[in-house]
Chain A
């Protein structure tokens, strides 16, 4: 079955450490997204990518970085510059072509500070 796989499910970060969240999709979708979800705040866009080797900052990109070397993969790095990284992170993808295609989501990664 096609879908989006996020790993790990839980991740702990030490002070000053960079950590990378994995997101892989086998839906052949062009666009991929990273969202951060805090309690009571809904989804906030961190980065999105419409095609390989191209990505755009979302509303809260500071302290995060991404890459899109393959269509299937869109890893998110939470850098030490992100001072409040504790949150639930959701990866999503969607078709670029076709009218109004919805986003499909992974199961999320919960990141906590040690």
Chain B
């Protein structure tokens, strides 16, 4: 089974600064998809960004970008110009591309934004 590891249970960042959240995964497949989800205190899961493994270009969504290192099986999330509303749990997730629909989630990183 695929495993997704988030080694930072908690992170903090000063408002307006940049922070990077780490994620590594284990897979023997070459084609797959990776996601970052945000869960604010309201507990709603919100999709932040999506990366296709066959694309070398790193995905970007406004202040959010990823550093996708396929050989290293690493998928980190960079948040630039951090805002108070970025405070949340962040989950990394993996989805296989060929068979089945199962998603695999990491244990999450709790991000605190310091005013």
- A41 contacts which chain B residues (CB < 8 A)? 107
B44 on interface, CB distance cutoff 8 Å: yes
Stretch in contact with the other chain, from A13-21, A72-80, A90-98: A90-98
Chain A: interface residue total (CB-CB under 8 A): 24
User: B105 touching A42 by the CB < 8 A rule?
Assistant: yes
A70 on interface, CB distance cutoff 8 Å: no
User: B43 touching A88 by the CB < 8 A rule?
Assistant: yes
Check A102/B50 contact, CB under 8 A, given A42-B91, A43-B105, A88-B43: yes
User: B101 touching A31 by the CB < 8 A rule?
Assistant: yes
A69 on interface, CB distance cutoff 8 Å: no
Task: Pick from A30, A58, A88, A103 the residue with the most CB of B within 10 Å.
Answer: A103
Smallest CB gap from A30: residue in B: B101
Tally inter-chain residue pairs, CB-CB below 8 A.
Answer: 53
User: A103 touching B103 by the CB < 8 A rule?
Assistant: yes
Task: Pick from B32, B91, B102 the residue with the most CB of A within 10 Å.
Answer: B102
User: B108 touching A100 by the CB < 8 A rule?
Assistant: no
Interface residues on B, range: 20 to 34
> What's the minimum C-beta distance from A13 to chain B, rounded to whole angstroms?
19
User: B106 touching A42 by the CB < 8 A rule?
Assistant: yes
- A102 contacts which chain B residues (CB < 8 A)? 35, 47, 50, 95
> What's the minimum C-beta distance from A34 to chain B, rounded to whole angstroms?
12
> What's the minimum C-beta distance from A41 to chain B, rounded to whole angstroms?
7
**Which one of B9, B33, B35 lies within 8 Å of A40 (CB-CB)?**
B9
Smallest CB gap from A31: residue in B: B101
A residues contacting B by CB (< 8 A) are 30-31, 33, 40-43, 45, 48, 50, 58, 88, 90, 92, 94, 96, 99-100, 102-105, 107-108
B residues contacting A by CB (< 8 A) are 9, 32-33, 35, 42-45, 47, 50, 52, 91, 93, 95, 97, 100-103, 105-108
Could you list 13 A-B pairs, sorted by A, with CB under 8 Å? A30-B101, A40-B107, A42-B108, A43-B105, A58-B102, A88-B43, A92-B103, A94-B101, A100-B97, A102-B47, A102-B50, A103-B103, A107-B43
